[in-house]
Amino acid sequence: MTVTIKGQNYEFPEGTTFLEIAEKVQPEFDHEILLARFNDMLFELYHTCTGDGEIHFITGTEKIGQSTYERSAIFMMLKAFYNVCDDVKDFGVVVDYTLGGGYYCHLKGDVKVTPELLKKVKDKMDEYHQKAIPIHKKSISTRNAIKLFRENGMHSKERLFHFRMTGSVNVYYMGNFADYFYGYMVLNTSYIKYYDLIPYEEGFVLMLPTRSNPEKVASFVPLNKLYEVEHASSKWAEKIGCSSIGSLNEMIMNGYSDDLILMQEALFEKTIGNIAMDIAKTSKKIVMIAGPSSSGKTTFSRRLSIQLKALGFNPHPISVDNYFRNRDEAPLDENGNKDFESIKCVDVQQFNEDMLKLLNGETVQLPRYNFFTGEREYKGDFCKLGANDVLVIEGIHCLNDEMSYALSSDEKYRIYISSLTQINVDAHNRIATTDGRLLRRIVRDNRTRGYSAKATIAMWDNVRKGEDKNIFPYQESADVMVNSSMIYELPVLKIFAAPLLFQIQRSDPEHAEAKRLLKFLDYILPISPELIPQNSIVREFIGGSCLDVG
């Protein structure tokens, strides 16, 4: 058979494994090969290659390669923990959320995280790495999977598979340790070379390499404010018995969707009200709201404005998006693509001039950006501030002082908002906050900007790079952080996102990501959007908001 790799043709006997082919061409790659994409399909390396075609080998510099390495490292870490803590009653490990460049985890059972315990676990991981233990996948019946995970005390997986529609489950084995994972694995533990365990607060952080440097463990950066918000959200989800997809599905199945929605909306409204009270105490005239894409900044700013009105203030919500330069003026990134996440996309000078005029009591005509035409328009939206007026400004760059260079820092009240998913697939398979935001954006972009899911996914990597550069470095400077993720939103977004994802063709580069998202959504029972309040942050994405959210 003839296969093409990096434009060069190679001859191999029919039935050669991808591993054997990878070993031959590895010198042509700067980083270790982890997976293979053959004729638009992904394969783990133990699979055989059948027929002619093109092979694209994947390393840790690609998103799918990085997630494969991370998933495999988590698997090895779990095996080590369960070995070291085999005598601990009701023991468990929860891989909770990303923090400071790693994965924050905590333990269950009668055991505390100590440096001594983490050293034992890391030593055991080193031992597994040296042994090159094969990681193999076995298909078992769903009934047997439920029984397996019940016996192993992995109850979040047991609940998950009660809602499995198919009759079988792919379970991964590392020696005699079995677990279910949502995604691909490396061939064996010798591939898992770079990792560290850092004690932090009540748990620890698993540190792994980044895509930019797959051979070096990233440095841990403590983010105390972010931790407090994520920790509180996770604890609340656990307290109401809804910390995993399985438990969420049980609540939906048992008719508690209304209660879940009302509880979450009540909690979020209380959070907004408390922030409004704090702003009133400071007497600051400028509220700056920043956050990554699809975090719900617009709805939050409108609802915060309503709370400020209830306290006797006259707020003016202003979206920095309306100060975007015309699309043909957008700056280019290092690859020659339009960089819509750059602060240079914003007419910063005009923004500052307008805000200073408002603060000085002048009347200003505010712009409105037309995302269909890609142009800034003026439609007679005039604004003038009075004595009790407050500017409520939202945009991805609002915590960057360059955005509001002409405005006094003493007058600014800074808020960081992000959608920090508080539930996971199960205890070992987290739901990335970026997945929740991507689904939000797919739905909103299609509804308000006419973009396909394919187009949104295609630009998402650049969006993420822009967030890493322009947003996340400033998040800890906020006076307060807000989690805008609604615990019930994924069952709602599923209804809108799934049809859009199915439109992506197998031959499209975005198909693998669409397939991954569809598989993830398949775990979740739906909730009717009719139950969602008109002022909910979810309405910003699915439509039907009673607020002016564009």
Model confidence at 283: pLDDT above 90: no
- How confident is residue 105, by pLDDT bands cut at 50, 70 and 90? very high
Report the run of H or E that residue 160 belongs to, with start and end: helix 155-161
Q: Which amino acid belongs to residue 30?
A: D
Average pLDDT over residues 487-503: 97
**Residue 101: closest CA among 231, 202, 201, 198:** 198
C-alpha 39/C-alpha 72 separation (Å) is 24
pLDDT of residue 182: 85
Residue with tokens 């693998």: 512
Out of 134-138, 326-330, 447-451, the most confident range is 134-138
Dump pLDDT digits (tens) for 21-55.
999 999 999 999 999 999 888 999 999 999 999 99
Residue with tokens 């007058």: 411
Length of the chain counted residue by residue: 550
Model pTM above 0.85: yes
Q: Which fold has domain 227-542?
A: Rossmann fold (3.40.50)
**Distances 538 to 153, 245, 444 between C-alpha atoms, Å:** 35, 19, 10
The two beta strands, 41-44 and 53-58, are unpaired
Q: What is the DSSP letter of 297?
A: H
H helices, E strands: number in the chain: 15, 21
Model confidence at 520: pLDDT above 80: yes
- 3-state SS class at 46: coil
**Residue 211: closest CA among 438, 472, 41, 461:** 461
Structure tokens at 428: 């070992």
Q: Which position has the higher pLDDT, 40 or 365?
A: 365
pLDDT of residue 185: 97
Which CATH number does the domain 2-59 belong to among 3.10.20.30, 2.40.160.20, 3.30.70.980, 2.60.40.1220? 3.10.20.30
Dump pLDDT digits (tens) for 221-262.
999 999 999 999 999 999 999 999 999 999 999 999 999 999
Model confidence at 496: pLDDT above 80: yes
Q: Give me the residue spans of the domains in the chain.
A: 2-59, 64-222, 227-542
Dump pLDDT digits (tens) for 315-348.
998 999 999 999 988 888 877 878 888 899 999 9
C-alpha 87/C-alpha 492 separation (Å) is 42
pLDDT of residue 56: 96
Q: Count of CB atoms within 10 A of residue 267's CB?
A: 15
Give the strands of the sheet with 196-200, arranged side by side: 92-99, 102-108, 203-207, 196-200
pLDDT > 70: percent of the chain: 100
Model confidence at 550: pLDDT above 80: no
**Distances 41 to 30, 38, 506 between C-alpha atoms, Å:** 23, 5, 9
Which CATH number does the domain 64-222 belong to among 3.40.1410.10, 3.30.980.10, 3.60.20.40, 3.40.50.720? 3.30.980.10
pLDDT of residue 340: 82
Average pLDDT over residues 407-412: 91
Average pLDDT of every residue of the chain: 94
pLDDT of residue 341: 81
pLDDT of residue 288: 96
Average pLDDT over residues 464-469: 88
- How confident is residue 357, by pLDDT bands cut at 50, 70 and 90? very high
Q: Which position has the higher pLDDT, 337 or 94?
A: 94
